[in-house]
Amino acid sequence: MLSDLHFSPSDSTGDPTEEQLGPSVAEPLAIARLCAGRGWPVHPLVPGRKTPAGNCAACRVPGHTHENCPCPAAGRWCHGFRAATLDAARIDQWWGRHPHMGVGVSCGPADLVVIDVDAHHAPQPAPGLLLPGITIADAVDTTAMTTGYHTLAVLAALRAQPNPADDASTLRVRTPSGGLHIWYRATDGSRWRSSSGSGAGRGLAWQVDVRANGGYIIAPGTTTTAGTYQPVGESRLPAPLPGWLAQELDRTGHLPAAPTSVPAPRPVPPRARQAVQAEGGGRDEALRVLTRLLADVADCSTVSEGAGFSDKLNRAAFTAGGLVAAGHLSQHTAERALQETAELARPGQQQRAAQIIRSGMNAGARRPLHPGSRT
């Protein structure tokens, strides 16, 4: 659990020192491992900063973009959250060689929707930008709404709902600047989009950002020159995104336009299903569990991103590793079923899938899975 780590804030206001940012203070490698273990792909941040680690020289050439860039597939952290990974070996390599780097979490692949509440001292915008889409009468005194805490509280009150800032059921992280990150988990496959404040385009509220697809969030426990991102309360896992908040995000433009047609969920590839059935005859409950998990992975083929593909494939690989360790499935059969299902869900991403499969199976192998003991 994240709460098991020792977190100590830094009092520095200048550049971070080795003592302030070393593993004894924030243990970035341990944090990265824990996040990846929860299915949250991670990427490095500049030591002491909130920004992703820099690109290589080739990726800094003007006009270069992340599209078709070979660096993430080659194990380099270029392009920030787009290079985020669950691969244990890569994580150990990155933070093992650079132990002072912070930890960022790519929100989209992790199915995370994080409400980022700011408490900056800034001039108040026009009343129409405090709560986009909600008319505030001229007679209402809004001068007391000076931070994102206020605008979010008013939005919740207008909807007769609990304030997310007080939601003890989910992971909440206090930021060094006095803000709050409220972590939620998308459960319906919606590709929620990120936003910043309430400016032009989509926006939930003034001084309230949304971190989802196309964005990242700083991992709990990460230390910068300003201090530590410290979990508050007891919960260390994101709760499902509340329905009313999902409606507000939809209302304020955080969902892409609906497709004209929605393809039907894809079944597990026949060869993958046949491999599992040939091994276990379809009679072992543990094998049926694996087949159901493979079906979840296959369903990701209907959504280009934001379907939780990495998390679902990692879970299936973890289960397969446990079955192999317990003697219910051969290594070859498990890898074949996982690879063919991953290829169906994300064609052309064999290297990425292979890394997730290898990492998940290695982790699962340390916990042999016997029928009826766990899923």
Does residue 217 contact residue 115 with C-beta atoms inside 8 Å?
Answer: no
| Tokens representing residue 70 in the block | 């070979």
Candidates 309, 321, 347; CA nearest to 106 is 309
Rounded-to-integer distance, Cα 105 and Cα 307, Å: 16
Query: Which pLDDT tens digits describe the chain residue by residue (375 residues)?
Result: 344 433 333 322 233 333 333 334 348 999 999 999 999 999 999 999 999 999 999 998 888 888 888 898 888 999 999 999 999 999 999 999 999 999 999 999 999 999 999 998 888 888 888 999 888 877 778 888 899 999 999 999 999 999 999 999 999 999 999 999 999 999 888 889 999 877 656 899 999 999 999 899 999 999 999 999 999 999 999 999 999 999 999 999 998 865 544 444 455 555 555 555 544 443 456 567 778 788 888 877 665 555 677 878 888 888 888 888 888 878 888 888 888 888 887 777 778 788 889 888 898 888 887 765 543
Radius of gyration of the chain (CA): 22
Level-2 CATH architecture, domain 112-214+228-251: 2-Layer Sandwich (3.30)
Looking at the chain, which residues constitute the CATH 3.30.2250 domain(s)?
112-214+228-251
pTM over 0.75: no
pLDDT at 270: 55
Rounded-to-integer distance, Cα 33 and Cα 148, Å: 31
| Size (the chain), residues | 375
Rounded-to-integer distance, Cα 289 and Cα 375, Å: 7
Does residue 103 contact residue 44 with C-beta atoms inside 8 Å?
Answer: yes
Rounded-to-integer distance, Cα 324 and Cα 337, Å: 13
Does residue 325 contact residue 370 with C-beta atoms inside 8 Å?
Answer: no
Check residue 242 and report its DSSP letter.
P
Sequence-distant (6+) residues with CB within 8 A of 91 are: 29, 32, 33, 36, 42, 85
pLDDT at 305: 54
Can you spell out the DSSP letters for 79-126? TGGGG-B--HHHHHHHHHH-TT-EEEEETTTTTEEEEEE---------
